Structure 1
Amino acid sequence: MAPDPEPEVPARPRRRHRTDWMALLSGLLFVGIGVRYLAGPAPDPVIMAPVLVGGLGFAAFVAILAKAIRR
């Protein structure tokens, strides 16, 4: 006794999501800073604070450029 064949499912068009550059770059920045803290002696917070703010600013700049180019 053979199993019943599965009914054909109509193919849906593939949906693509646009890249959220702000989230991607911010996540990479925080992962990088976390790895830096875990890998060795704790870096000076006076140096890491501007790196964090500058990195978030860069991520925002890239996100704004990407949104402007998409339009």
Structure 2
Amino acid sequence: MKQMGIQAQIRKKKRYYDKKEVYVVSDNVLNRDFHATRPNEKWVTDITYIPYKQKNLYLSAICDLKRHSKPL
């Protein structure tokens, strides 16, 4: 690796979370029924992060299940 001038990337250590923490789990209200009969009846969301310039950007997508576009 030294001859080729390359170097391994070292990842940051993951934070340790104490197992004594209490996590809140929400009820599964949709129960895999993603069909909505009217607008604003069912909304879904997803949150993800995007690594950018040694920081994380967070993206939250929100979708109304009645008004979502059809897949191509």
TM class by shorter chain equals under 0.3
Q: Which has the higher contact order (CA 8 A, sep 6+)?
A: 1
Normalised to the residue count of structure 2, the TM-score between the two structures is 0.23
Please say which structure displays the higher CA radius of gyration: 1
Normalised to the residue count of structure 1, the TM-score between the two structures is 0.23
Structure with greater helix share of residues = 1
Structure with greater strand share of residues = 2
